[in-house]
Structure 1
Amino acid sequence: MRVTSMLELGGSRLGYTEVGVGRPVVWLHGSGPGATGMSNFGGNLAAFGEYRNIVLDLPGWGSSPRPETDEPLIFHAAEQVCRALTALGIERAHLVGNSYGGAVAMRVAMRHPERVDRLVLMAPGGVLPADAPPWPVGLDRLFAYMAAPEPSREAMAEFVRLMVFDETLATESLVDERYASSLRAHPELPIPPNFGDLTPDLGLVAAPTLLVWGREDQTVPLAWADRILAGIPDAELRVLPHCRHWVQYERAAEFNHIVREFLQGGAAAVAEG
C-alpha cells in the first residue's frame, strides 16, 4: 500500500510517500532541479518491499514548501527529518541519501546518532575538497539552472544527460518530468547555496556507513570520497564503473543488491560483531 501525504510539523510542512511495512528506511533525495523523493527513488522501492519505506521531499523541493531560515540548508533539513521521524512514530531508522540527501543523512547521524541504524550515502555532498571551486561541470550546471529566472527545458535536458553515463537513460519523459517539477518548486536560493560544511564532524558518525559512487560522476567526483571515507570511523566504499551521479537510477539492479545486503548486516557484520 502506498500513502502520499503531508506532515504538519508545527510551523513547517514536509511531503512524503510511505510504502510497505517493517523496519523503517528513510530515503533522502538530491538537490538537483526538479528533484523529489519519488523521482529519485520510486524505481527502487519494489526491491525493498519488506521495509517501511519513507520517501521524503526535503524542504524546498517537491511538495515541501521552501523554508524561511538563515541556517545552512543541510543543517535545517536534518532537523526537519528528525521531526518527521517523530511525527511518524519512528524512533530509529536506516537512512539512504543521494547527494544533498546524503549530506542531510550524515548530519542526522552526527547530531542524533540514536536515531540512525545504518547509513547509505550515494556521492554525498557537504564535504568539499580544499580546492573547490572551481566546480565540477555537473554542479556548475545545477547552480546555473537554479540561478536562471526562467529555466528552459533544454537546460534541463543538458543537466539530466550529465547525471548518467549512458545518455539513452536521459529519456524525453524523464526530462519532461524533471522540468515540470522544477517549475512547480524552483528553489529561490543564493548561488552557490549555503549548504553547510560537515567536514569537522565526520568523526561523529557512529553508524555503519556504506558509500556508493559512480566512477564517472561529474557532479560529486569520486576523488571527493577520500575525505569522507577517512573521516567516518566505520565507512566502506563501493564504486560502480560506467556510472555517473544517479547511481540508484543508472545501475538500479546493482544498487538495490548492494544496499539490501548492507541493510541486512552483510557488509558491516564483522565491524559490529
Structure 2
Amino acid sequence: MVSTVDVGDVRLAYTGVGSGSPVVWLHGSGPGATGMSNFGRNLPAFADFRNIVVDLPGWGSTPRPATDEPLIFHAAERVCRAMTALGIERAHLVGNSYGGGVAMRIAMRHPERVDRLVLMAPGGVLPADAPPWPVGLEHLFAYMAAEEPAREAMAEFVRLMVFDETLATDALIDERYEASLKAHPELPIPPNFGDLTPDLRLIEAPTLLVWGREDQTVPLTWAPRILHGIPNAELRVLPRCRHWVQYERAPEFNHIVREFLQGGPTAASEG
C-alpha cells in the first residue's frame, strides 16, 4: 500500500514493508519507473529489514515540484526530509541507476545518515567523452521527448534493459507503458541530473557496486571512475545481465546485497 510523507514542497510517495534495520530503496529514471516496479520482486528477501521503497519526485505517485536544481540534488534532499519525517536517523541506501546517483548524493552531503550503500550502475558520474550516449540512454531520452509515446517504443526500451529478452513480458511492458502515460517526465532532453564526480571522495559509507556485464545503458566501462573515486568501494559484476540487475538476476542480487548489508556496523556507527 502506497503512503505519502510531507517533505515541504511535495508529498513523497513510498511503500513501507517489513521491520528491522531501515533500508531505503531508490529507483531509476526510466519511463514508467516506480519504486515497486524496480524492487517489488526483491522485497520478500528483505522482510527482516524495514524497507522504505520511494517514488522519487516526478515518478510514480510523487508529483514533480518546479525546480531549477539538478534532479539528483533535488531528489536527495527530499529523501532526507522523508527519512526525518519517518523517524529514520540512519539507513542503508540501495539505488538503481538514477536512484544510485540520489543515494550517492545523500552519502556525500549527509554521511551521518548512511550506513551502507548499494549502487546498481549508478547515474551522476559520466565519462569525459559523453555524449554520444549508450543505446539504452538514447532510447530513454527519445521516449521522454515523445509527445505521444508509443507502446512499441516502451517495448524496445524494456528489451534493452535485460539480457534475457524473455523477461520483457507483455505484462511488464504494459505496466511500464501505462505508468509512463500517467507520469510523463516533461524534462529537457537530456535532463540535468547533476555531476557527482568531484565529490565521490566524500562518500564515507562502505559501498557495493553491482553491475550487469552487458549493460547498454550505464556501461561497465563507466564503473572504474566510481570504483576508484569512492574510498571504500567494491565491485561485483554479473555476466549475461544488463541494466536491471535486481530484476534480471534477482536471486543472486538478493544474496549479494543481504550478505553486504549484514556485514556488521560501519566505523561511524561503532564510534
Q: TM-score, normalised by structure 2?
A: 0.97
Alignment correspondent of 1:140: 138
Going from structure 1 to structure 2, the CA distance change for 1:235 and 1:183 (only over 3 Å counts) comes to same
Post-superposition CA distance 1:142-168 (Å, at most 9, x none): 000000000000000000000000000
- 2:17 is matched with 19
Structure 2 residue 114 is matched with structure 1 residue 116 = yes
Partner of 1:80: 78
Percentage of pairs with the same residue:
83
CA drift of 1:4 comes to 1.9
What corresponds to 2:39 in structure 1?
41
What is the one-letter code of the residue matched to 2:117? L
**Equivalent residue of 1:69, what SS?**
coil
- Write the deviation string for residues 11-36 of structure 1: whole angstroms up to 9, x where unpaired: 21110000011100000000000000
Shift of 1:10: 2.4
Q: Deviations over 1:237-259 (max 9, x none)?
A: 00000000000000000000000
> Hey, what's the Cα distance between the residues in 2 that align with 1:218 and 1:108?
26
Q: Secondary structure at the match of 1:218?
A: coil
**Could you list the runs of 4 or more consecutive aligned residues of structure 1 that deviate by over 2 angstroms after TM superposition?**
266-269
In structure 2, stretches of 5+ residues that fail to align are none
Distance (Å, rounded) in 2 between the aligned partners of 1:220 and 1:10: 32
CA contact (8 A) 1:61 1:187 kept: yes
Note the 1:31-110 alignment, pairs <5 A.
31-110=29-108
Q: Secondary structure at the match of 2:128?
A: coil
Q: Deviations over 1:112-149 (max 9, x none)?
A: 00000000000000000000000000000000000000
1:173-184 equivalence runs, <5 A: 173-184=171-182
The SS at the match of 2:95 is strand
CA contact (8 A) 2:139 2:157 kept: yes
2:157 aligned partner: 159
Q: Match for 1:189: what amino acid?
A: L
AA in 2 matched with 1:157: A
- The amino acid of 2:251's aligned partner reads A
Give distance in 1, aligned partners of 2:68 and 2:206. 31
**Letter of the structure 2 residue corresponding to residue 28 of structure 1:** L
What per-residue deviation string (whole Å, max 9, x for no partner) do you get for residues 206-246 of structure 1? 00000000000000000000000000000000000000000
Residue 179 of structure 1 aligns to a residue in which SS?
helix
Residue 247 of structure 1 is matched in structure 2 by: 245
1:219 and 2:217 correspond: yes
- RMSD of equivalent CA atoms: 1.5
SS for the counterpart of 1:16 is strand
Structure 2 CA distance for partners of 1:225 and 1:268, relative to 1, 3 Å: farther
Cα distance between partner residues in 2 of 1:268 and 1:66: 34
Q: Give the corresponding residue for 2:3.
A: 5
Q: Which residue of 1 aligns with 2:229?
A: 231
- 1:268 shift after superposition: 8.4
Q: What is the match of residue 262 of structure 2? A: 264
Q: CA deviation at 1:199?
A: 0.1
In structure 2, the residue corresponding to 1:193 is in which secondary structure? Answer: coil
The TM-score, its normalising length taken from structure 1, stands at: 0.96
- Is contact 1:157–1:170 with CA below 8 Å preserved after alignment? yes
In structure 2, what is the Cα distance between the partners aligned to 1:151 and 1:91? 40
CA distance in 2 between counterparts of 1:224 and 1:57 reads: 26
Instruction: Tell me the SS of whatever aligns to 1:128.
Output: coil
- Partners of 1:23 and 1:200 lie apart in 2 by 31
- Are the structure 2 counterparts of residues 240 and 266 from structure 1 closer, same or farther at C-alpha, using a change threshold of 3 Å? farther
Aligned length: 269
> Counterpart of 1:75 in 2: which secondary structure?
helix
